[in-house]
Each structure stands twice: as structure tokens, then as C-alpha cells.
Amino acid sequence: MPSWPDNSKYLSQKTVRVDAPEKVTGRARYASDIQANGWLYGMILRSKWPAAKISEINLDKALQVPGIKAAVKARDGEFNVRFYGEELAAVAGITKQACLDALRVIEVKATPREGFVVNENEALKPDSPQVWEGSPNAPVPRVRHTGDVDQAFTECAAVIEGFYSTPVQIHHPMETHGNTISWTDDGVTAWASTQGVSSARDGLAGALQLDQSQVRVITDFMGGGFGSKLGGGVEGVLAARLSREAKAPVRLMLTRFDNALAVGNRPSSFQKIKIGATADGKLHAFELENYGTAGIGAGADQGGGGGGADIPAPYIYPVPNTRVKQTAVAVNAGSSRAFRAPSHPPASYGMESAMDDLAAKLGMDPLEFRLINDSNPVRQREYKIGAEKFGWKEKYQKPGISPGVVKTGIGCAGANWPAGGPNRRTQGEAQINPDGGIEFRLGVQDIGTGTKTVIAVVAAEMLGLKPEQITVKVGDTNFPPGPASGGSTTCASISPTVYDICEKALQQLQAQSGIADARGENWPAACKKLGVTPLVVHGNWIEGLSNRPAYGVQFAEVAVDTETGLVTLKKVVAVHDCGLIVDKLTTESQINGGIIMGMGYALYEERVMDDLSGVVLNPNFETYKLSGIADVPEIEIILLNMPERGVIGIGEPATVPTAAAIGNAVFNAIGARVGSLPITPAKVLAALGKVPPFVKT
């Protein structure tokens, strides 16, 4: 059985990203930086109707706009649109202005439907307009149960009922979705902003009815996706068709507005929770009724699916008697997609809020209540380590007793991420040159998480070289196939693969050169013996070096101004495990990112829909609030290194418990529950029984 080396020079240490110079100097080329010969701008016309029958689209006038080289319809014949922002047509032209002019003169014959609905609670009403004609907006709920819940509640010493809700969250990666695409007789080349060069290739080939070998996807650098960039995308298919027609490459990047409308989101949740414990503090009965919206449906626009509205429940804690009832409500809005730890942050927020509400009723410290009920030994360790670092004992006061106008509070919550394990079909190769240079080629991609650095670190460790001696090439379907970067699987997929490549490289190099150990200082001499022909070694993912799942706990400290309602996040202590830590810096950076994203979910982010027009009312960064630099608290990260477990992904678990921990800290500060994310000043004041001056009563 292979195993990771014990006394490692680079593994679990801090290696600065190998591509940092390219990024900070602006040399890194993203999909929208590609200067393909003679490229054109591409733009998409989107529906201004939230629900309509489209009977005709006429592109003639658009094609007469000076500078316009191509125009295509999103679909032929009659079809229905079901949300504001659904794709109707696209144009390609030599300037942005030409494209804008062309979009304006496309003639669309549309018959708006009688009604539409963008609000979950409206959509649930029996007389609501149907998003999908002939089927109810909310199908019959799925029900699961264990034990005898009704009986069990009568046996509890304390029971609480709470209502906890989370909003639709938009992915909003810094780089919007899009591609530069060239379709010639030789096939399609797409410089794509994607989380999966292979999955994007397959998506494009399928939609364009081409052989997969005729489509090449290249992603040198990529600015985030969080689950929303796993497919070829409607925008990719349209760009390819425009390129075919214009006989020129087309750069079609979505606008920020497009990103808010049409390329995925995290479903909302409305969770009615009843939970009870026996006198010794053991959870005994749990009941959840939950609904949420995934827009027209999870992945219903075929741009990369996943991310349904159901949540895992009861989250994390075993409860002997449970009843869980869930349904997804369709509304006239863009479909959901997988979003960083799909379904876990809302599940965590509901359950962990209910846990603290129940602990308060029992008169227990919520951390102790967790230690009694959490059966996971890793989290037990993490809670103890984190509590110590955070100073939980010294800081803890009963809810609402913090004095003064600005009250402080603390809270905690736990995470579980069942994925994070490997894609077992991952492959890669290395070319070793006689001059001692070595280049790794893997058909994986670095979506901003540090994949290139992880490859360099593992290779340097195995070969006794320095990370900067390793050339890393990823993000190209011409390389041996790699995994899509979803489910926190990338690190656990590529690390064992690079290990295997290195083992084979050493074996072959040693055999060919006659040098017994080709590592480290012997490397140049061994390579020299290759003569004039480089050595190319192929490797596969191998068993025994990676694993799943990951856990983690977080502690948050907040200050709540009871006059303005403003919540300030002061500090987060995060204790996480991910098996063997490959590179400490990239691991910490995933956790920082997860916490900052979770903080946005807790305090700022929420898609707001307009009931009258069906449009997203806050489609840009002025109005859709993401955490800014000034909001970011002191973050202290404690990593549990468990090399014996092998490599596990960390991207998703890191964002799971943050919002719940913050919500609990706010409850602890003010002694009242804000049961609805985001925790805005108005909601804080309302929870305190104060009506903000700008709210009409």
C-alpha cells in the first residue's frame, strides 16, 4: 500500500502559489483575455417576460446593423420562456456598441402568459399561476420518518418550535461566465471559464452534435465558479454557433446582470423545526417541514445541474425519532445550480439555530449541549481545541445579558461534508527532459483554489526537487483526463495521481540511467543519461492516499448595536480537518474564503425579486451585498493534520457552519432569535421589538 512520506519538506508546509507572479502582474490570461485572431464580441438577448410564449424571432434587422457578423436564435420554432432573463437570441459584432444596437432591433413576437410568480409563498397558493403548465408549483412533499415522533415529543423535558429561513443566494464569481470560442472546419476550441474542462467539452460537444474529439476546452486561469460553471452553458453553445456563422472567434462573457438572472443560485429554505430533548440534554425528537425554491427547477436550463431545494435533516446530530417533510417550489426565476456545499449551509443554519434555542430552553451552554449530542469524534476534538483557542468558557454569558447598547455574543456550529473524496479515473503524465526539466500535464483545472501549486508541492516532495523546478500545465482537454472541480474532489483526485506519476518516473529513470536513487541531487545526472529523448510517464489515481469526508467547527464573536441593529463580526475561530494537508497556504485560503462567503450568507446576501416585473432587483454589486474587505473579521484557523487519512478536499466544509455560528452569536448577544438570513439591521431591531423609523406599520 502506498503512503505519504513522513518527514516531508513541502507537504503540510507553506508554499506560495506557483502562479502568483502571473496573477499579480496581470500576465495570467482568463477566458476574456484571449486575443484570438479576428475575434468578435458576442452578446445575448434575454427575455423581458417572466412567462411568455415566443412565437417568432426575427434577426433580419439585427444583421443589417453595421459591424454585426452573425446572429442566432436560442431556439427554433415556438417555445415558452419561464423567467426574466431566459435566452432568446445572440449576436456577434466587431464592437460592443454594434452588439447592443443589434440586440435592440431583434424583433420578438411574444404572448405574455396570464400570470407568473416569483415568490415562494405566493407560488404555494392553490390559485397561483403555474410555472410549468399543468403541474403544481409544489409537488407532494417527500416524507421520511424514523421512530415515533409524536410519542417522543411527549417524552421530552424541553421542546422548542422555530421558523428559520434562508434566502436565494447568487454565486457571483468575480469572473462572470463565458468563453472565447472558435469554431472552424477543424472543430471547436473554447477558452472557457469553467470548473471542468472535460465536463464543458462534453457539454459543448453534445449540444453542438460534434464528436468529443472535435472540441477542445482550454482554461489557463479561472476566476471562480462555486458550482455554477460545470457544464458547457447556454452562453457557450450560443458563442460557438455565432463563431460558426461569423467564421471568426467570438468572445461572449456574461454581464453581471446576466449572472444574477440566469446561471444558477442556491435555493432558499423555509424551515419549520420542532425539536426536543430529554432532561439529560439528549436529543430525542425532531420534526422538519421545509420548502424552498430552485427557480424553474434545479439545473432546468441545462447549464449544469445539481443543487435541489431539499436539505439533509436532521443535520449532523443523530436523533432517534424524526419526521422530515420537504418540497421544492417552482417560481419564474432562473434555475438553481450546485452552490458550494449544496444544501449544507441552509441545513446547518436551521438545525444549529434550533440547537441553540433548545439549549437556551434547557438552560444549558450550547457548546456543552453539542458535545452531548454530536457523536462524531473528530468534531468532538475540534470543539475542544477551538473552545480553548476562542476562550469560550471565559466569554460565554447567557443569552441577552451582555450589558450596554452594543452587546457582544458568541456562537458555534459544526460542519460535515460527505464528498471531498477522489475521482478515481483521474490521469496525468509527466515529461522529463534530459536537461532535468519536468513538466506535468493533467486535464484538471485550477479554478483559483491552488491546484497548480498542489501538483508542484506533491511532485517536489516525491522527487526531492523544489516546487519552482516543477512545470505544471493544466486546463486543457488535450491532456490526460482529469476531474471536474466540484464536490471538493480535486485535491484528493490529483494528489494520488501525481504520486503515481512520480513513482513511475523514478522507477523508469532509475532503470534507464542506472542510478539507484534519482531523487534530489542525483536528479540532473539521471536525466542527463536520457540522452536526447525525453521520458514521458503516464500515471493514474491510486488507492490508499485519499479519503473522505471532512468535518470542521467554527466559533464566531459578534457585536450587535441595539440602537441601529448593525451586526459586526469580530472574530471567527475555525478548526478544520482535511486529512493530509498538502499545502498549508492554499488550505488556509480555502477556509478564509469559505468563512467570508458564509459571512455574506449570514449578514448581507439575498436575491430580491420584483413581483410586478419578475426581474431580479439587485443584480449588481451596488445592490447585491457581498462581504467587503472592511467587513472581514479576524480569522484564526486551526488545522488538524491527519496524514494517515490521506488527502481530502476542504473547499466546501469551510463554508458550511459560518452562517449558523454567526446567527447563534447574534442570538447570544441580544437574547432574541433573528430566524431569517440575512441578519439585517431591520431584522435585528424587529427581533428586539423596536420598529425601525423607516418601516411603516
DSSP 256: H
Q: Is 417 in the site for ligand MOS (CB under 6 A)?
A: no
Does the footprint of ligand MOS cover residue 342 (CB under 6 A)? yes
**Residue 477 interacts with ligand MOS (CB under 6 A): yes or no:** no
Is residue 422 a contact point for ligand MOS (CB under 6 A)? no
Select 332 or 449, whichever has its Cβ closest to ligand MOS.
449
Query: Using CA atoms, how far apart are residues 591 and 178, in angstroms rounded to an integer?
Result: 27
487 binds ligand MOS (CB under 6 A): yes
Nearer to ligand MOS, 429 or 446 (CB): 446
- Binding-site string for ligand MOS from residue 433 to residue 472, where x marks contact by CB under 6 A and - marks none: ----------------------------------------
Q: Which residues contact 88 (CB under 8 A, 6 or more apart)?
A: 44, 45, 46, 47, 54, 57, 73, 74, 81, 106, 108
- Candidate residues 10, 291, 339, 523; the one interacting with ligand MOS per rule CB under 6 A: 339
Instruction: Tell me whether residue 195 or residue 269 sits nearer to ligand MOS (CB atom).
Output: 195
Closer to ligand MOS at the Cβ: 339 or 523? 339
CB 492, min distance to ligand MOS, A: 13
The nearest distance, CB 272 to ligand MOS, in angstroms, is: 26
Cα distances from 577 to residues 75, 342, 380, 386, 584, in angstroms, run 47, 19, 12, 12, 12
How deeply is 78 buried, as exposed, middle or buried, from its count of CB atoms within 10 A (0-12, 13-18, 19+)? exposed
Question: Taking Cα atoms as reference points, which of 514, 421, 407, 500 lies closest to residue 462?
Answer: 500
DSSP 8-state class, residue 268: P
User: 274, 340, 370, 407: which one contacts ligand MOS (CB under 6 A)?
Assistant: 340
Encoded one letter per residue, x for contact with ligand MOS by CB under 6 A and - for no contact, window 173-202 reads ----------------------x-------
Question: Least Å distance between CB 17 and ligand MOS?
Answer: 20
Give the nearer residue to ligand MOS in terms of CB position, either 92 or 419. Answer: 419
CB of 487 to ligand MOS, least distance (A): 4
When computed from its CA atoms, the radius of gyration of the chain, rounded to whole angstroms, is 27
Contact stretch for ligand MOS (CB under 6 A) within 339-347, 437-445, 527-535, 545-553: 339-347
Q: How far is the CB of 620 from ligand MOS (least distance, A)?
A: 23
Put the strands of the sheet holding 283-292 in their side by side order. 142-146, 321-328, 283-292, 269-277, 158-166
Report if residue 590 touches ligand MOS, rule: CB under 6 A.
no
Assess contact for 1 and 542: CB atoms under 8 A. Answer: no
Shortest distance, position 171 Cβ to ligand MOS, whole Å: 9
Cell numbers of 417, please?
Answer: 461534508
Cα 388 to Cα 575: distance, rounded to the nearest angstrom: 11
- What's the gap between Cα 409 and its chain centre? 29
CA distance 635 to 574: 7
Q: Residue 345: what residue type? A: P
Residue among 419 and 687 whose Cβ is closer to ligand MOS:
419
**Nearer of residues 339 and 499 to ligand MOS, judged by Cβ:** 339
* Cβ atoms of 560 and 681 closer than 8 Å: no
Q: Are 267 and 291 in contact (CB under 8 A)?
A: no
* 486 lies in the site for ligand MOS, by CB under 6 A: yes
Contact region for ligand MOS (CB under 6 A) — 4-12, 62-70, 335-343, 554-562? 335-343
Alpha-helical runs (H) found in 195-343: 197-208, 234-246, 256-262
Question: One symbol per residue from 219 to 258: x for binding ligand MOS (CB under 6 A), - otherwise; what is it?
Answer: -------xx-------------------------------
CB of 652 to ligand MOS, least distance (A): 6
Please give the Cα distance from 184 to 47 (Å, whole number): 30
Q: How far is the CB of 40 from ligand MOS (least distance, A)?
A: 30
Site for ligand MOS in 48-67 (CB under 6 A): none
Interface segment toward ligand MOS; rule CB under 6 A; list 317-325, 338-346, 578-586, 655-663? 338-346
**Residue 345 sits in the site that holds ligand MOS (CB under 6 A):** no
Our finding on whether 338 is near ligand MOS (CB under 6 A) is: yes
Nearest CB to ligand MOS, comparing residues 290 and 423: 423
Of 336-344, 637-645, 654-662, 676-684, the window that binds ligand MOS (rule: CB under 6 A) is 336-344
Closest residue by Cα to residue 495 from 562, 544, 535: 544
Cβ 341 to ligand MOS, closest distance in Å?
7
Say whether 236 sits in a helix, a strand or coil: helix
Instruction: Please say whether the beta carbons of 324 and 331 come within 8 A.
Output: no
Site for ligand MOS in 313-332 (CB under 6 A): none
Separation CA 393–CA 455 (nearest Å)? 42
Report helix, strand or coil for 511: helix
Q: By C-alpha distance, which of 674, 629, 689 is closest to 411? A: 674
**Is residue 261 a contact residue for ligand MOS (CB under 6 A)?**
no
- Cβ nearer to ligand MOS, comparing 342 with 549: 342
Give the sign of the dihedral formed by CA 637, CA 642, CA 643, CA 646. negative
Separation CA 478–CA 60 (nearest Å):
39
Question: Under a CB-based contact definition with an 8 Å cutoff, are residues 634 and 275 in contact?
Answer: no
Residue with the closest Cβ to ligand MOS? Answer: 227
> Least distance to ligand MOS from the beta carbon of 195, Å?
6
Amino acid identity, residue 558?
A: V
User: Taking CB under 6 A as the rule, does residue 266 contact ligand MOS?
Assistant: no
Range in contact with ligand MOS (rule: CB under 6 A) among 96-104, 333-341, 380-388, 466-474:
333-341
Residue 335 contacts ligand MOS per CB under 6 A: no
Name the minimum Å distance from CB 449 to ligand MOS.
Answer: 10
HSE at residue 395, side-chain half, CA atoms within 13 A, is 23
- Which residue has cell 439528549? 282
417 phi-psi bin (left φ>0, alpha ψ -120 to 50, beta other): beta
Chain positions contacting ligand MOS, by CB under 6 A: 195, 226-227, 338-340, 342, 486-487
